[in-house]
């Protein structure tokens, strides 16, 4: 994973002409381990109820590949928001499908307030997973930050 | 904050933070993110600390700074323990 605030803030996030990009790479095995060790507490503290529903396998068990992609999306969105040392619960950044089934970023609570204060709007997200990794890219417009 | 608390914190770090370096080589004020801890690992660290100290980190404390060094974690544990939670349980992480 690219870390926020060090490599992530400079190399993985770029600003130009009012557009901000954040990217993150996530290990699927890390999510599997967290589910194994911390089970429901991990799931409830990090993911929204909608995300947990969307990432349930046919048998009801959480699909770590899809959850890893969503964690990457949360991290990429926090880079776009330049969260720094602000207190933003993981659940305040959620991924949900729009009416066409495309993933979208939904900000609530502290994340929504941060977006407003930073002039960040119109977030868009793309997710992928392949083998041991999942990744996400978040793009947003920024007002007054050119 | 006692030495025992820092020992427990270091044990939790060793077991849950997925650091690429030996925790014992890090000073109390070493930046754990700079040392290689990822954001996802910090979630596991938080949950394991809650188990070890019988505390719960409130939303206001879910910041990078709270988890970025042994000293910062010790201060947070002390604050939460002073709020009424029992002191270091020493196990269960």
pLDDT at B27: 97
In chain A, domain spans:
7-142
- pLDDT tens across A94-127, in order? 999 899 989 999 999 999 999 999 999 999 999 9
pTM of the model as a whole: 0.86
Shortest Cα distance, chain A CAs vs residue B78, angstroms = 19
* Cβ <8 Å between B63 and A5: no
The angle at the Cα of B27, spanning B25 to B32, to the nearest 5 degrees, equals: 90
Residues on chain A touching B18 (C-beta within 8 angstroms) = 30
CA dihedral A52, A57, A62, A66 (to 10 degrees): -70
* Cβ <8 Å between B43 and A46: yes
* Cβ <8 Å between B41 and A85: no
- pLDDT tens across B17-38, in order? 999 999 999 999 999 999 999 9
Shortest Cα distance, chain A CAs vs residue B74, angstroms = 18
CA distance A103 to A125: 7
Q: Which CATH architecture has domain A7-142?
A: Alpha-Beta Complex (3.90)
Task: Report yes or no: B23 and B14 within 8 Å, Cβ to Cβ.
Answer: yes
Q: Place B87 in a pLDDT band, splitting at 50, 70 and 90.
A: very low
Whether ipTM exceeds 0.90: no
Measure CB to CB from residue A85 to each of B38, B44, B65 and give the nearest one. B65
pLDDT at A62: 95
Whether pLDDT at A145 is above 90: no
Neighbours of B12 (CB within 10 A): 23
Rounded to 5 degrees, φ, ψ at A47 are: -110, 150
Closest CA in chain B for residue A71 = B40
Shortest Cα distance, chain A CAs vs residue B69, angstroms = 14
* Cβ <8 Å between A30 and B62: no
Task: Report yes or no: A120 and A88 within 8 Å, Cβ to Cβ.
Answer: no
* Cβ <8 Å between A38 and B44: yes
Domains contained in chain B, CATH given: 3-82 (1.10.1200.10)
How many CA atoms lie less than 13 Å away from A79 in the CB half-sphere?
Answer: 34
Q: Place B2 in a pLDDT band, splitting at 50, 70 and 90.
A: confident
pLDDT at B83: 65
Note every long-range contact of B83-91, with CB atoms under 8 Å and residues 24 or more positions apart, other chains counting: B85/B53, B85/B54, B85/B55, B85/B56, B86/B53, B86/B54, B87/B5, B87/B53, B88/B2, B88/B4, B88/B5, B88/B8, B88/B52, B88/B53, B89/B51, B89/B52, B89/B53, B89/B54, B90/B4, B90/B8, B90/B52, B91/B52
């Amino acid at each position: 994973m690219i870390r926020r605030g060090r490599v992530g803030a400079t190399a993985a996030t770029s600003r130009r002409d009012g557009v901000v990009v954040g990217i993150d790479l996530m290990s699927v095995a890390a999510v599997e381990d967290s589910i194994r060790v911390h089970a429901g507490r991990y799931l409830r503290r990090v993911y929204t109820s909608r995300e947990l529903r969307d990432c349930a396998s046919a048998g009801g068990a959480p699909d770590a590949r899809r959850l890893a992609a969503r964690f990457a999306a949360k991290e990429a969105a926090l880079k776009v928001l330049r969260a720094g040392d602000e207190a933003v619960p993981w659940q305040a950044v959620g991924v949900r499908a729009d009416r066409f089934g495309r993933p979208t970023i939904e900000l609530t609570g502290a994340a929504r307030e941060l977006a407003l204060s930073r002039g960040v709007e119109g977030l868009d997200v793309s997710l992928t997973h392949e083998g041991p990794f999942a990744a996400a890219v978040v793009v947003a417009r920024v007002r007054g930050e050119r | 904050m006692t030495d025992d608390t820092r020992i427990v914190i270091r044990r939790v770090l060793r077991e849950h933070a997925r650091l690429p370096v030996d925790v014992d080589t890090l000073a109390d004020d070493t930046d754990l993110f700079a040392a290689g801890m990822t954001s996802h690992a910090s979630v596991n660290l938080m949950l394991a600390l809650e188990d070890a100290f019988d505390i719960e980190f409130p939303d206001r404390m879910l910041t990078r700074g709270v988890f970025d060094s042994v000293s910062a974690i010790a201060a947070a544990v002390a604050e939460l323990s002073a709020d009424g939670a029992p002191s270091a349980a020493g196990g269960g992480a």
